[in-house]
Amino acid sequence: NCDAFILEGRVTVNDAAVDRLGVRVDPEHDVVTFDGRRVTPPEAYVYILLHKPLRTVTTAKDDRKRRTVLDLIGTDQRLFPVGRLDYNTTGALLITNDGDLSYHLIHPRFMVKKVYRVMLNKMIRPIDLHHFQNGVMLDDRKTSPCKAREMRRMDNRSYLEVELHEGRNRQIRRMFETLGYQVEELSRVNFAGLQVNDLNPGEWRELTAGEVRMLKRMVEEQKDTVLQNEDV
């Protein structure tokens, strides 16, 4: 009971014992101890949605001095991107310091939805689109079935929308390469329900409280589904 500990004189602020409730402290400047041990307040969680632009690496630092996604945000806080987008892939990227949420959003067994817009170097054949949807072999293992539809054709190129629940390295590019196509443009338009329709490439915003609740609720529902499947 924190109130009881304070009244017992076990809490100090700047080396002075606190014997009454309601004392305000500044976590940036005041030193608080409990039974002689310093107490540090938990770091507040930050949730940022970035519209990742081209030619940007999805890391905190880059040995080759390339621009990183954290350079675009310009913060001293210890944040990290949730998952990865390739150097030349654009779109929705979540950046946070919430390790538990990040883990569940990128772990493959939690099946988080990701939607991409793809431009190919030529028009796709219906049979190849069928193969793509049903899975192709990557690294001696077949990809899971996914949704893919051709949205339009222009200048002898196919424009598609692809929905994945996996997250293998360069998965969409490699899947199309296996079928004989090159991805010329790739953008993630939806990550776990987050969209960047209101952001230009390079722009970012903090998530709303409702969006954070949505992510956490989705993770809890996915946890329940995983547990139910394991019990079967």
Q: What is the mean pLDDT of each run of 10 residues along the chain (232 residues)?
A: 84 90 82 89 88 97 95 92 96 96 91 96 98 97 97 98 94 98 98 97 97 94 75 58
- The secondary structure of the chain, three-state, reads CHHHHHHCCCEEECCEECCCCCCCCCCCCCCEEECCEEECCCCCCCEEEEEECCCCECCCCCCCCCCEHHHHHCCCCCCEECCCCCCCCEEEEEEECCHHHHHHHHCHHHCCCEEEEEEECCCCCHHHHHHHHHCCEECCEECCCCEEEEEEEECCEEEEEEEECCCCCCHHHHHHHHCCCCEEEEEEEEECCEECCCCCCCCEEECCHHHHHHHHHHHHHHHHHHHHHHHC
Show which residues are catalytic. 86
- For residue 90, give the nearest of 207, 216, 184 by alpha carbon: 184
pLDDT the model gives residue 23: 86
The residue behind tokens 């222009």 is 154
Give the integer Cα–Cα distance in Å for 215 and 105: 9
Give the integer Cα–Cα distance in Å for 61 and 93: 16
pLDDT the model gives residue 232: 54
Which domains, ranges and CATH numbers included, belong to the chain?
2-39 (no CATH), 47-107+200-232 (3.30.70.580), 113-191 (3.30.70.1560)
Q: How many residues does the chain have?
A: 232
pTM of the model: 0.81
- Give residues with Cβ within 8 angstroms of 146, minimum separation 6: 132, 133, 135, 162, 163, 164, 165, 166
Strand partners, 160: 118, 150
Radius of gyration over alpha carbons of the chain, in Å? 23
Assigned token pair, 80: 């990290």
- For residue 114, give the nearest of 94, 142, 140 by alpha carbon: 94
pLDDT the model gives residue 230: 67
pLDDT the model gives residue 4: 86
